[in-house]
Amino acid sequence: MVSDSPRTSFFLMNYIPQVLKQSQDAKHKAELQPIFSSTFAVIFFGTPHRGSDWVSIAERAATFAVGKNDNRILRDLRVDSEILQRLMDAFAVMLKDDAFKVHSFIEGHGITDIPGFTGKIVEEFSSVLGEASETRFVLDANHRTMCKYTGKDDDNYARVLKRIKGYMHSIELASGLRSGE
């Protein structure tokens, strides 16, 4: 059954707000307009909305591995980055308009499998938007393992799947579709 409802998509991505903002503002770019209007929900996995203290380590590692470091991209991922703040502000406006649902999965453990490194890649204060409409859950994983599952019996897999199925069910209800289950 084809739905007339424009809200039939959700995204599982590391950082989608800038794409949604461009789509929302795309008055003269017809190819971008459907992205915003079709978005039902966005799911984040350990996304550094407010940056990460690990950026300085990543900059040093990049310099060591490559011999030089063009740190423009990494600089924007530092805690309290101006560009991240602008993105958060633009995204917050979309959330206040109740344009779509947002869920954030948070890493529950720091990195322990790299000698000399401890702590979370993205601390909880940075991995949540802090908006009242946002739902969130702490996964029993670190940043490197939060999207890796041992199988369908994995508790983290079950939590993520439950969230996705919940959004899919809401999309079906909103568009009049019936689940084939």
What pTM value is reported for the model?
0.76
Q: Is 1 part of any domain?
A: no
Q: What is the pLDDT of residue 15?
A: 47
Q: Is 97 part of any domain?
A: yes
Q: What DSSP character marks residue 42?
A: E
pLDDT in tens, 119-149: 888 889 888 988 888 899 999 999 889 999 9
Q: Is 70 part of any domain?
A: no
Q: Is 73 part of any domain?
A: no
Q: Is 135 part of any domain?
A: yes
Contacts of 86 (CB under 8 A, 6+ apart): none
pLDDT band of residue 66 (cuts 50, 70, 90) is low
pLDDT in tens, 3-27: 444 455 555 444 455 566 666 665 5
Cα gap 169→175, rounded to integer Å: 10
Number of structural domains found in the chain: 1
- Domain of 123? 9-51+83-152
